Amino acid sequence: MAFPSDFAQHVKSSVDIARVIGESVRLKKTGNNYTGLCPFHQEKTPSFSVHATRQFYYCFGCGAKGDVFRFVMETEKVPFPQAVERVAQRAGIPIPARVPSPDFETPESRLRAALEKVHEQALRFFQNQLQSSEAAPLRELIKKRGVTQESVAEFGLGYAPVSGSALIGHLRREGVPREILEPSGLFVVRDNGDLVDRFRGRWIFPITAASGKVIAFAGRALGSDHPKYLNSPETPLYSKSRVLYNLSRARDAIRAAGRALLVEGYMDVIAVWQAGNKNVVASCGTALTEAQVRLLTKYCTAIVVNYDPDSAGVAAADRSLALLLEESMDVKVLRLPGGLDPDRFIVERGAKAYAECLDRAQPFFRYLADRAIEIHGSATPEAKLASLNFILPYVTKLPDKLIRSELSADIAQKLGVNSQLVAESFRKAAVERKDSIAAPKSAGHLPAAEAMLIRLLLDDAEARQEIADALLSKGLIEELESRSIVETILSMMSLDSQIDVITVTEQLLEPHQKTLANILFDKDARPVSKSEISAYISALERKHLENRRISLRQRLQDAQRSQQADLVVNLLKEKNELDKMLVELLQRKDS
């Protein structure tokens, strides 16, 4: 099938080639053009250039060249008509009907077209099943969760029956052959070769491409099944690292508002949408990726990150900030009071309260300063240095000197240190791409027990949850020298992601990747026992309580100097409680 003769030229003249290529190649602006590492051959020094005005790319290393359509054809392995269609979809250009032209059809394009049709059929099936008697409890849950019927229709919500043969039976009756069913991701192949429905007894959330076509599904468990959310696997249609949930509905609102609102989950998106914020998107059950960030930059230059306030959500927000900063996004962070995620906050407190919080979202540098002090404190020189080092990895990614200057002044004021000293340290770190002011401890200087704890988190699924519960319930993560690694693992656990070294490593900043590699490749490492880890967690708890007591002593002295009698009384009570907790901890250790 081919488009009218002038449509391709219309699309080409309407899109920014640098934006399209920038979705898959990290481009750096050099004058009026862009450069990056060539996607068509291996290289370490950029030789790939994009001329934005002439809408043309050329590699001085391998000679690859062409226009926006050629780039999509070469990188996504599609014929010309499909490349035109994909570029038009990304730019939001309406696509006219095509006329027959079988010469351009390929097996890959025919498969994609068939899979798109199957997903539309599955969508209608799930939507119809939501009205069945079996789905009555889900309809009650939807009502209880405050999801309106308008949103049910808008987001295409549905239900997957408990039977493992409901959807496959329906599609077979529709005449869909196995060679289309199997690569769709909608089914699991049993040992005997039979296909069974992937989604069973679940609340269904369709996932769409930016064009609005359904390409995958997410299924939420209605009981105690695990995982809580089950997503479609990677398919010829769906790559989760390149898709943002709700972007097809939100993109016009994002363009109009000039910014996007990024949340964690599907229900968060629906609640925020119902609250009147149509510019909301979420990463589909995965940590935010570079490809998703570049996708957002097509539509806006500003973003508000509103992740869940638990430890995993905060860690995810921290990692997302680094990616967003590298793309020169104007970033704000919204942390909702009461320890609530966006969905629960809106249900419990209403759309107006959420809008008020949204108006008070912090610029990212103020958020980072507060985060650093929350984690490390500011009562001692060591704590102040740790707070500065927490912020440095983000500073090195800032292209704007003015923002860097504002950040240094803000953190200096909060920590009570010389602002010129901080500004100079940040400047040097940005120029030299350093990750810390003082030389960071190498993995070899990590406490041996902490390295063992990380190995146990990675290797022992049974011990993993026990360790996570202990660290989170006692607030001990901030005491870990390898906090970033542990927070990443806990974040993946909260998303029911598979915990493996490759996936964990990909989500860490480079210095922490090296730390993890040193831990894992330590030739002197020995088997880890749970008793050793329990003892180490007790030591962390003691360290945590002692650090709290140091901070409390400083606050008490300040209150006494300023003659705040009521505050002094309250702080003395808090100190007595801390002392009692420390005594009890030591008694447990000795018993």
Say if residue 244's pLDDT is above 60. yes
Q: How confident is the model at residue 134 (pLDDT cuts 50, 70, 90)?
A: very high
pLDDT digits (tens, 9 = 90+) for 67-122: 899 898 888 877 888 888 888 888 888 877 654 444 445 677 788 889 999 999 99
For the record, the structure tokens of 321 come out as 């900030």
For the record, the structure tokens of 513 come out as 């990747």
Question: Which residue would you say has higher pLDDT here, 491 or 405?
Answer: 491
pLDDT digits (tens, 9 = 90+) for 161-214: 999 999 999 999 999 999 999 999 999 999 899 999 999 999 999 999 887 889
Mean residue pLDDT of the chain comes to 81
Q: With beta carbons less than 8 A apart as the criterion, state whether 108 and 77 touch.
A: yes
pLDDT at 171: 97
pLDDT digits (tens, 9 = 90+) for 520-547: 766 566 666 666 677 777 777 777 677 7
**Burial classification of residue 572, based on how many CB atoms lie within 10 Å of its CB (0-12 exposed, 13-18 middle, 19 or more buried):** middle
pLDDT digits (tens, 9 = 90+) for 136-150: 999 999 999 999 999
Q: How confident is the model at residue 586 (pLDDT cuts 50, 70, 90)?
A: low
Q: How far apart are CA 146 and CA 141, in angstroms?
A: 9
Q: How far apart are CA 471 and CA 450, in angstroms?
A: 12
pLDDT digits (tens, 9 = 90+) for 351-399: 999 999 999 998 887 888 788 888 777 777 777 777 888 877 777 666 6
Say if residue 436's pLDDT is above 70. no
Q: With beta carbons less than 8 A apart as the criterion, state whether 203 and 219 touch.
A: yes
pLDDT at 529: 66
pLDDT at 487: 84
Closest CA to 473 of 373, 551, 371, 541: 541
pLDDT at 437: 47
Q: With beta carbons less than 8 A apart as the criterion, state whether 332 and 303 touch.
A: yes
In this structure, of 28-42, 199-213, 413-427, the range with the lowest mean pLDDT score is 413-427
The residue behind tokens 């695990």 is: 226
Question: Which residue would you say has higher pLDDT here, 576 or 237?
Answer: 237
Q: With beta carbons less than 8 A apart as the criterion, state whether 305 and 334 touch.
A: yes
Question: Which residue would you say has higher pLDDT here, 430 or 114?
Answer: 114
3-state secondary structure of 262: strand
pLDDT at 453: 80
pLDDT digits (tens, 9 = 90+) for 282-305: 987 567 888 888 788 878 889 999
Pairing of β 330-333 and β 302-305: parallel
Closest CA to 343 of 123, 496, 489, 142: 142
Say if residue 551's pLDDT is above 50. yes
The model's pTM: 0.61
Measure the CA dihedral 120/124/126/127, to 10°: 130
pLDDT at 549: 73
Say if residue 441's pLDDT is above 50. no
Buried b (16+ CB within 10 A) or exposed e, 486-517: bbbbbbbbbbebebeeeebbebbbeebbbbbe
Residue 234 is given by DSSP the state: -
Question: Which residue would you say has higher pLDDT here, 305 or 45?
Answer: 305
Q: Give the list of residues 6+ apart from residue 461 with CB closer than 8 angstroms, or none.
A: 499
Q: Using alpha carbons only, give the angle 293, 296, 297 rounded to the nearest 5 degrees.
A: 90
pLDDT at 439: 35
Cα 369 from chain centroid (whole Å): 21
